[in-house]
Amino acid sequence: MSVNFSTSALISAGNLAADWVCERLAADGSFPGVENEIDTYYKMPVLFALSGRTGEGEAVANYLRQRFYNGGDFHADTDVSVLSFKNYRNGWVARGLQMLGSAQMATAAGDYLESEMVQAFGAVVTEPWEPGVKVMDWGTTCSAAKAFLCLGRNEAAIRCGEYLLETLANQPQAERFLLKRDLNGDYLKDDNPTFVIEIGGTDQIYFPLGFGMLVFADLYALTGDDKWLAAAEKLYDTVMKCHDEIYSVITNRKAAWGAAQLYSITGDAKYAQLSLEIWQWTMDTQTPEGLWLRHPEYSSLEEQPLEYTVDAAVESGLYMFELARSLSSYMVKDR
C-alpha cells in the first residue's frame, strides 16, 4: 500500500483539527452544547499540550477542575452510563494535566488511579455493569500505565505492565482476545465488544491492541528488558491477523499510534509501515473543516452527536502530532 502524506501533512492535519476545536471553545474552557459531557474534554489537555496551545489547555484544565473534579477523579455529577470507562478517561486527563504543568491536579489524579489498582494483579479497574461492580480491564490499565509513565510513577507503570503481560500470555482462546477479568483473575467471556476482540472478525474495536503496543514499547524504552519488546511484537502479530477492516475504521487510531511508538524505539521499519498504512484512512477521511464522520453509523456531521464529533477531532488531531514525532526519521523527506 502506498502512503500519500508526509510529516508536514500530519502536522497540518493536526492543526486543522485543533483549530476547529479552539475556535469553538468558550473562554471558560467549556465547549458549547456539550458542557456536561466528560467524553468531550478528557483528551483535550493532551491535544493542546502537543500542539502548543497552552492558553486553551489552561482554560480546559480550569473547566475540568470546576465542573468534573472530585478528589482525583473527573466524573463528578456525570451520568451513570459513562462510569464504566472512568479510569480510562482519568488516565488521559492525568497525563494531559501533567504535560500542561497542572501538577497539583495531575498528582491527585495519579493518586486516585493508584487507589483503583487491584493490588494482587496490578490492573486498574473499570465498572462495566453498574457503579461499584468492578472488574479488571485491559484498556483502562493501558491508559493508567501511560499516565503513570508521564507522572514519573514508574513502579506503578511497571505493575500495570506486568498485569498486561500476564493477561496477554494466558489468553484462553487463540482466536479471541479477552479484555476483562474478574477480581480473582478469571477471564470474562461476555460477547460485548468492549470485552473481547474476535481476531479476524469484522466490526471489532481495535484500540486495545494499539494501546498495549504503546505501553509495552514505552516500558521497553524505560527498562531495556526484552520481555516488553516480545509482548509488543506479539500484539503486532495479532494486529496483522486482524481483518482488513482495521485499515478503514475509526477504532484503528491507537494501532497506528502504538506501531509508530514501536518504530521510534526500535527503528524497525515494519512498525512504521504498519502505522502509515493504518493512518492513511484517517488522512483520507478528514473533512475540509478538520473533522471525521463515524460512517456508516452516521450519514452526516449534522446527524452525528456533537460529543462524538469533538472527541474524534481531538483524538485524531493529537495522534497527528504524536505520529509526526515518532515517525520523523522514517518520513525524513516529504512525499
Q: Indicate which CATH number applies to the domain containing 154.
A: 1.50.10.20
Residue 192 covered by a domain: yes
pLDDT surpassing 80 at residue 257 = yes
Q: How confident is the model at residue 203 (pLDDT cuts 50, 70, 90)?
A: very high
246 vs 84 pLDDT, higher one: 246
* Residue 91 CA neighbour count, 13 Å, CB half: 28
Please determine, for residue 333, whether its predicted confidence score (pLDDT) is greater than 60.
Answer: no
DSSP 80: G
8 Å CB contact between 236 and 168: no
Q: How far apart are the first and last CA of the chain?
A: 14
Across the range 302-319, mean pLDDT stands at 97
Minimum mean pLDDT range among 81-90, 193-202, 255-264, 265-274? 81-90
- State the pLDDT confidence band at 18, using cuts at 50, 70 and 90: very high
Nearest one of 48, 128, 129, 32 to 92, comparing CA atoms: 48
Number of folded domains that form the chain:
1
The answer to whether residue 332 is domain-embedded is no
pLDDT of 332: 63
- CA-CA-CA-CA dihedral for 269, 2, 286, 252, to nearest 10: -50
What is the DSSP secondary-structure string of 262-296?
Answer: HHHHH--HHHHHHHHHHHHHHHHH--TTS----TT
Q: Considering the domain boundaries, does residue 333 fall inside one? A: no
Is residue 110 a part of any domain in this protein? Answer: yes
Q: Which of 32-36, 77-81, 120-124, 308-312 has the lowest mean pLDDT?
A: 77-81
1 belongs to a structural domain: no
**pLDDT tens digits for range 138-174:** 999 999 999 999 999 999 999 999 999 999 999 999 9
Q: How confident is the model at residue 101 (pLDDT cuts 50, 70, 90)?
A: very high
d(CA 1, CA 276): 9
Residue 215 domain flag:
yes
Residue 56 lies in a domain: yes
Q: By mean pLDDT, which of 37-51, 60-74, 99-113, 319-333 is the weakest?
A: 319-333
In this prediction, residue 1 has a pLDDT band, given cuts at 50, 70 and 90, of low
Averaged confidence pLDDT in the chain: 95
Cα radius of gyration (the chain) = 19
Q: Does residue 334 have a pLDDT over 50? A: no
pLDDT at 297: 87
Average pLDDT over residues 193-206: 95
Least confident of 39-48, 63-72, 77-86: 77-86
On the question of pLDDT at 22 being above 80, the answer is: yes
**Element holding 315 (H helix, E strand):** helix 306-326
Per-residue confidence (pLDDT) for residue 2, from 0 to 100: 65
Determine the structural domain holding residue 76 and report its residue range: 7-326
Q: Does any domain span residue 37?
A: yes
Residue in the block written with cell 466490526: 203
Residue 148 near residue 156, CB atoms below 8 Å: yes
Q: What confidence score (pLDDT) does residue 295 get?
A: 80
Q: What pLDDT, on a 0 to 100 scale, did the predictor assign at position 331? A: 87
